[in-house]
Amino acid sequence: MAEMTVKVLGMTCDHCKRAVEQALQALPGVSKAQANVAAGLATIEFTKQLSEEAVKVAIEDAGYDWGGKA
């Protein structure tokens, strides 16, 4: 299992946290996504290749800004 941590800009509450986690968990191969509002980070565990572009699009589609890999 591989792991990626990314910066998510614009998360301010638990609703934001859930929205980001749900968007990332919907990506193929993602087994777990954990967002941290205070740190502005999301950690993704995945079992198959996951592109940064797919993660970026999922975050932006959820209404937040991509801050790059942490």
DSSP 27: S
Q: What is the pLDDT of residue 56?
A: 98
Q: What is the pLDDT of residue 35?
A: 98
* Long-range residue pairs from 47-50, CB within 8 A, at least 24 positions apart, any chain: 47/1, 47/2, 50/2, 50/4
Q: What is the pLDDT of residue 1?
A: 87
pLDDT at 55 over 90: yes
- Fold classification of 2-69 is Alpha-Beta Plaits (3.30.70)
Q: pLDDT per residue over 5-54, tens digit each?
A: 999 999 999 999 999 999 999 999 999 999 999 999 999 999 989 999 99
- Angle among Cα 13, 65, 17 to the nearest 5 degrees reads 25
C-alpha 21: how far from its chain's center? 6
Q: Where are the domains of the chain?
A: 2-69
